[in-house]
Amino acid sequence: MPVKFHKNIFLNTIKKYNPDIILGIGQCARGNIIRIERKASNLKKTQYKLVNLKLKKNKYSRISYNAGSFVCNFSMYVILDYIKNKKIKFAFIHIPHNYDLSKSIKFIESKIYEARNSK
């Protein structure tokens, strides 16, 4: 997905594929541990939305309630608002910029498996 603050980029993709599960993945500039995001906020930080697919942390990750203020947070907020009355599961993962690629892939694959098998 392009890194742009355009709501329809995200919503048109969801409408096109009509998924049961969405696993958002973004890159964060800081840190050395994967963040499993649980909350997206509007830019004024006056309203927030929580994910409805709560992936579990492990030794390579932590739970975060601050998805930042850039496009990752924006996309989460837009998607969560769109799916609020739909049966679509949604989770979001932030991978640190310099994180090992092979470890990132293994982590994401494990979370895809977890999401598919969640109730």
What is the length of the chain? 119
Residue 61 falls in which region: left (phi positive, over 0), alpha (psi -120 to 50) or beta: beta
Q: Do 37 and 76 meet the contact criterion of CB atoms below 8 Å apart?
A: yes
DSSP class of residue 109 equals: H
CATH class of 18-99: alpha beta
Say if CB 82 and CB 90 are below 8 A apart: no
Structure confidence at residue 43 (pLDDT) = 74
pTM: 0.91
**Cα–Cα distance measured from residue 47 to residue 84, given in angstroms and rounded to the nearest whole number:** 14
Dump pLDDT digits (tens) for 26-36: 998 878 899 99
Residues of the chain where predicted confidence (pLDDT) is lower than 70: 1-6, 44, 119
- SS3 label, residue 51: coil
